[in-house]
Amino acid sequence: MKQLLSHIRVLDLSRVLAGPWSAQMLADLGAEVIKVERPGPGDDTRAWGPPFLKTPTGGSTQESGYYLGANRGKRSITVDISQPQGQEIIRELAAKVDIVLENYKVGTLKRYGLDYESLRAINPKLIYCSITGFGQTGPRAEQPAYDFLIQAMGGLMSVTGERDDLPGGGPQKIGIPLIDLITGTYASVGMLAALANREVTGEGEYIDMAMLDVQVSLLSNQAMNYLMSGKTPVRRGNAHPNIQPQDVFKCADGDLVLVVGNDGQFAKLCQTLGAPDLANDPRFDTNPNRVRHQNELRPLLDALFAAKTRAEWSDLLGQAQVPCGPINSIPEALADPQIVHRQMLRQLPHPTAGTVPQLVTPFRFGQAEIRTDQAPPLLGQHTDEVLGELGLSAERIQQLRQDAII
């Protein structure tokens, strides 16, 4: 089966997470991605461990799990872009690719002659995407940023965590670097949109992606709640601000997540819990009423859920088509029969470790396949190969290595 982006070449100048995640997504779809790293340390995340990938003999590859989660399907070359000879290599590569992706501080690549305007002069159809914390313009444009900071500044932590008046209350960040990941996803969508436009117009494009912009856009219903009511959203723990009941409930042996999305599901819930009259109670008969009276509804449901185990309620509510489920650990989530069936966890061949586990892209196509045959590369694994494709001789490549350019 075909890979949808097998005709696309990407020059990935990014590091850490948002940019590499975006480039990995394109690689999963079949694009050829050349990852440019610093000679010596490479991408910062290679050292963000432990854990590090183990070899069959028990040694370490010095490739962290963090790095391995965002770089499969790429070819790695090392180039010192601060040096004129390194900059020339990047220009030669940029002349032959469809996309350049970077996440340097604002102005850095312009000093090196590797900004969009400079590279567009040699490749007018180039699509160039810049990812930064705050964007290319504005009072914060030159400030550095990381996911944690953006979660705080963008309002996400103000609505994440337990209520201040309860034990453990206070702002919390999400347990994964979500804004990095979604910024990378948005960047991929933007680049694919630019590719589609280029098919029609023949023109390249510049994309300015800012993590803070992404975070604010994700405030979605919480922002609309504020904009329409004037009331500042607050932390509610696991309770949903607009739909009830949606929360964590304690059963006889542990916690269960309940997600009731409409009045019909609420009626089925009440029937299954053995309290059908609750669905006709004027305090609870519609979702707006349940939201207004959730402090009265909650203790009634708590008492009912406490009567059976998680497994018993999961089985009964599942039969009634009421969405519910356990709070799985990561090992439990990966072992879920649905995840196993969908083959989300796969083992890819690795040049030194034998194999490396990978959580693959969730894309599933009817007439195309995703790439699952190329592990995250070793540092500089493909330098000689890629430079040879540019026409550099073995002697020239060796000289560049001796001069610490690659």
Contact 195, 8 (CB under 8 A): yes
Q: Same domain, yes or no, for 323 and 201?
A: no
- In this prediction, residue 405 carries a pLDDT of 97
Q: Same domain, yes or no, for 118 and 206?
A: yes
Domain final residue, candidates 305, 328, 351 = 328
- On the question of pLDDT at 204 being above 90, the answer is yes
Query: Structural domain of residue 380, as residue ranges?
Result: 9-217+342-402
**What is the domain count for the chain?**
2
Q: Same domain, yes or no, for 24 and 137?
A: yes
- In this prediction, residue 56 carries a pLDDT of 87
Catalytic-role residue among 43, 180, 213, 247? 180
For residue range 376-385, what is the model confidence (pLDDT) as tens digits? 999 999 999 9
Q: What is the model's pTM? A: 0.92
Q: Same domain, yes or no, for 180 and 315?
A: no
- On the question of pLDDT at 239 being above 90, the answer is no
| Averaged pLDDT of the chain | 95
Whether 228 is covered by a domain: the verdict is: no
For residue range 41-86, what is the model confidence (pLDDT) as tens digits? 999 999 999 999 998 888 888 899 999 999 999 999 999 999 999 9
- In this prediction, residue 62 carries a pLDDT of 83
Q: Same domain, yes or no, for 251 and 205?
A: no
Is 98 one of the catalytic residues? Answer: no
60-to-15, 55, 76 alpha-carbon distances in Å: 22, 6, 19
For residue range 307-322, what is the model confidence (pLDDT) as tens digits? 999 899 999 999 999 9
Q: Same domain, yes or no, for 18 and 85?
A: yes
Coil, helix or strand for 77?
strand
Q: Same domain, yes or no, for 346 and 319?
A: no
- On the question of pLDDT at 1 being above 90, the answer is no
The DSSP line for 298-350 is: HHHHHHHHTTS-HHHHHHHHHHTT--EEE---HHHHHH-HHHHHTT-EEEEEE
Whether 230 is covered by a domain: the verdict is: no
Whether 337 is covered by a domain: the verdict is: no
For residue range 95-119, what is the model confidence (pLDDT) as tens digits? 999 999 999 999 999 999 999 999 9
For residue range 319-338, what is the model confidence (pLDDT) as tens digits? 999 999 989 999 999 999 99
Q: Same domain, yes or no, for 275 and 194?
A: no
Whether 146 is covered by a domain: the verdict is: yes
Q: Same domain, yes or no, for 313 and 356?
A: no
* 384/78 Cα distance (integer angstroms): 10
Q: Same domain, yes or no, for 349 and 299?
A: no
Contact 405, 102 (CB under 8 A): no
* 234/330 Cα distance (integer angstroms): 28
Residue 57 sits in a domain of what CATH number? 3.40.50.10540
Whether 231 is covered by a domain: the verdict is: no
Whether 210 is covered by a domain: the verdict is: yes
Q: What is the mean pLDDT of residues 400-405?
A: 96
Domain final residue, candidates 328, 358, 391 = 328
Whether 225 is covered by a domain: the verdict is: no
